[in-house]
Amino acid sequence: MENQPQPEIINELDNFFNLSFDVNSREQLKQIALWSKICSICAFAGYFVSLIVAIFGHKDISLETDGLSFGAYFRSSSSLVTVLVTLVIGGIVNYFLYRFAVAVGEGVQSMDALKVNTGFNSLHIYFKILGIGLIICLSILLLIFFVALIGAAAGPRY
């Protein structure tokens, strides 16, 4: 009675995620990884350029009265803060896209399923952060819309 083999319980969902890739799908994954890497590097370059412009850029405001010109050069600190916040948030988001590109590229090249799974986990985090950010932004816009609508309805009537 003790030595009888126990029947194996096979879960169909376990077999669902055991994916195999043929030559065509591996090439497509390589292209996806390449373009993801290009997009993330371009985003990092854009953040760097906007930071340089915010630090070293200046606006020229001139006031002309009766032929006299008074020029004022200033650097807006609010634009620097905006660029820094964008750099931090965008840097975190695009870091996960870059991790996806590197891990999937290496995983497909070496036929390592663990690296491919790690890469797709990074892509999962990337889209989760984008989704949460989109929900927050849409909520703020909806709140602003309702406040403006209430303000317009409660405004003075002539």
pLDDT at 44: 95
pLDDT 10s digits, 63-111: 555 655 554 444 556 678 888 999 999 999 999 999 999 999 999 998 8
pLDDT at 81: 87
Q: What is the mean pLDDT of residues 13-33?
A: 75
Domain spans of the chain, in order of start: 23-149
Of 17 and 54, more confident: 54
The sign one gets for the Cα dihedral 153, 140, 39, 36 is: negative
**Which residues 6+ apart lie within 8 Å of 96 measured at CB?**
122, 123, 125, 126, 129
Asked if the model's pLDDT at residue 139 lies above 80, the reply is yes
- Where residue 35 falls among pLDDT bands split at 50, 70, 90? very high
In angstroms, rounded to a whole number, what is the distance separating the alpha carbons of residues 100 and 136?
24
